[in-house]
Amino acid sequence: MTFSHLDLDEFADRAGVDLRRAFGELAALYARVDARIEATTKNLNLPCHKGCDACCRESVFLTTLEFLYVWDQVQKTFDDNAFQEVIARGLALYQQHRVIIEALEEAHDDPTKRLHWAMQLKFDCPFLSIEGACRVYPVRELYGRMFGCSFNSQGGVYGCSIVGKHLAEQEVTLVSADSWSRVLQRLPLTNMRQVYPYFIHHLYGL
């Protein structure tokens, strides 16, 4: 099967959303987050680097608006082979993890259940290259920007064990992942979070 580009503006229009305006607001938010992270981490010598990709082999959650922002970039910049391949990977991942992804969907208003299912969901992000680089890095989701360089809701490091060990003996001030997540939720199309395969399935698998 060959997949085609979709009219994302029309998709958002049906929900009464001016997508280009929402993208502008999202880009401005990302710029503010990136600037705050740069300011708070520049002297910490964090271990994150290109090719260190364990955090992209778990499960990353994002809102519909963040997904559409990524997908708009995919439609503009991926060649046809890469475009077909990322959809095929997304659809295959959806089928492979369908039970958990649908359980997450059903538990949309139950944070405890969602956490239970989220902990069991692990897959290689379809945007990860063979070299371990993110193919949509400039437009990647909010949680991807904050992973390894922010605090979680318990005041601990929102990140992997490598970052946790690196920062264990240091006194640090990091941005709050929850606070920025709430700022994001002021934008349209941000009232639910799911994983990339879920969104790809809903665009191309139905």
Report the interface residues with ligand SF4, using CB under 6 A. Answer: 47-48, 52, 54-56, 60, 125, 127-128, 134, 136, 140-141, 144, 147-148, 159-160, 162-163
Q: How far does the chain reach from its first CA to its final CA, in angstroms?
A: 13
Q: Least CB distance from residue 122 to ligand SF4, whole Å?
A: 12
Burial tier of 150 (Cβ tally within 10 Å: 0-12, 13-18, 19+):
buried
Reading the block at residue 8, the tokens are 């994302």
Q: Least CB distance from residue 137 to ligand SF4, whole Å?
A: 6
User: Which residue, 21 or 96, is less far from ligand SF4 as judged by CB?
Assistant: 96
| Cα–Cα distance, 128 to 201 (Å, whole number) | 18
User: Which residue, 72 or 141, is less far from ligand SF4 as judged by CB?
Assistant: 141
Q: Least CB distance from residue 64 to ligand SF4, whole Å?
A: 15
Reading the block at residue 9, the tokens are 């503006």
- Give me the residue label for tokens 């946790």: 164
User: Which residue, 144 or 197, is less far from ligand SF4 as judged by CB?
Assistant: 144
| Cα–Cα distance, 146 to 70 (Å, whole number) | 17
Q: Least CB distance from residue 51 to ligand SF4, whole Å?
A: 9
